[in-house]
Structure 1
Amino acid sequence: MRQALNNLKATYSEFRFVNQENVFKVCDQPHPLHVKNMVRNVLGGKFDDACSDLKQLYDLGYSPTDIITTLFRIIKNYDMAEYLKLEFMKETGFAHMRICDGVGSYLQLCGLLAKLALVRGIAKAA
């Protein structure tokens, strides 16, 4: 609760207006809608679009840890088949471990998207 109040105070101090976009700027987290669009593209079989969305977030300066943390939160709440959600969360967890071990790169995140696309393809074929 204290963190939320601090974030709101910092947002007001910086921008003099509290809205969703300003809060995400202050908290320095990727906007969930961008990440949700990336997941939607993976599920829709649009791997290149998903990588493009990821590249935009990466180019904006978000760290791989911030991106993967937001991705995990989005996957956890995304409306998809439960077995697919569990597989997505498992792959995301493994990638998060590798990033925490110091292998945080754009390539690592693209590899995660590729694995998610494979999981989606296997689930769709079954």
Structure 2
Amino acid sequence: MCPTSSLLGIDVVRNKIKMFAQQKVTLPKGRHKIIILDEADSMTDGAQQALRRTMEIYSKTTRFALACNASDKIIEPIQSRCAVLRYSKLRDDQIMMRLTEVVEQENLHVTNDGLEAIIFTAQGDMRQALNNLQSTNSGFGYINSENVFKVCDEPHPLLVKSMLEHCVNANIDEAYKIIEQLWSLGYSPEDIIGNIFRVCKTFQMAEYLKLEYIKEIGYTHMKVAEGVNSLLQMAGLLGRLCSKTAAPGAS
């Protein structure tokens, strides 16, 4: 197995991977050598081109398995030679089950809101969840929601939830105070808008209103990605969200 996230160059493909593929190994009929490349989407284009050639030459004796987070970063010639298997993100209860096992075996000091915070920040990624659990325990020795969000450096979802509540009540002044607080704490617009979206998905409100909110959040996220990422952009989002529930004629 080759962790390509730390070995990205073309030399690795030409030397280590190709040398292994060239080795003659006596195997039962129908068996092949297997090369597993983890985080293959981190490989350079040159390395991927070299890998494509290696896959062609040694296809009769060697099988290649590529694990990646973004398949669109794998060049088309390699994708066409592979059977693509897509896996969805893990459910929250699946991550919780594994976290509970780790907490019990390692005798960690953890609260329920701490586990929920880890699940929130992991976004369906088990490796991210375990990394956040370990980092919080190493940094504080006690795993609660406050410590988790300090380690992950993300806007606290309770603040974001409170901001959305003010928007639903068309209270632009109180909502703006929270977005200004998050901004002054140094959080990036990408982190803020990302957490607004994730909190909004599970926020209790009328379904039609939630769809309108998600549409506005998505539009703002697009503008932020294009570089229009000022506090004014965030304030404009709050204004549009508040207008969805404001009484007719209200200013």
TM-score (norm 1): 0.94
| Residue type of the alignment partner of 1:47 | I
- Report matched runs for 1:1-16 at 5 Å: 1-16=126-141
Matches of 1:118 and 1:20 in 2, distance apart?
32
1:13 shift after superposition: 1.2
Structure 2 residue 205 is matched with structure 1 residue 58: no
List structure 1 segments (4+ residues) > 6 angstroms apart after TM superposition: none
Matches of 1:9 and 1:96 in 2, distance apart?
31
* Local SS of the residue matching 2:245: helix
1:37 shift after superposition: 0.3
- Report matched runs for 1:20-59 at 5 Å: 20-59=145-184
Question: Highest relative contact order (Cα 8 Å, sep 6+), 1 or 2?
Answer: 1
Query: Counting helix residues as a fraction of each chain, which structure ranks higher?
Result: 1
Structure 2 residue 243 is matched with structure 1 residue 118: yes
Partner residue in 1 for 2:232? 107
Partner residue in 1 for 2:23? none
Structure 2 residue 19 is matched with structure 1 residue 19: no
Deviates further, 39-48 or 91-100: 39-48
Query: Counting strand residues as a fraction of each chain, which structure ranks higher?
Result: 2
* Local SS of the residue matching 1:102: coil
Partner residue in 1 for 2:204? 79
Matches of 1:73 and 1:4 in 2, distance apart?
16
Partner residue in 2 for 1:89? 214
Matches of 1:110 and 1:44 in 2, distance apart?
16
| Residue type of the alignment partner of 2:224 | I
Matches of 1:85 and 1:23 in 2, distance apart?
28
1:15 shift after superposition: 1.1
CA RMSD of aligned residues (A): 1.0
**Unaligned regions of 5+ residues in structure 1, if any?**
none
| Residue type of the alignment partner of 1:24 | F
Percent identical residues: 52
Aligned length: 123
Structure 2 residue 190 is matched with structure 1 residue 68: no
**Unaligned regions of 5+ residues in structure 2, if any?**
1-125
TM-score (norm 2): 0.48
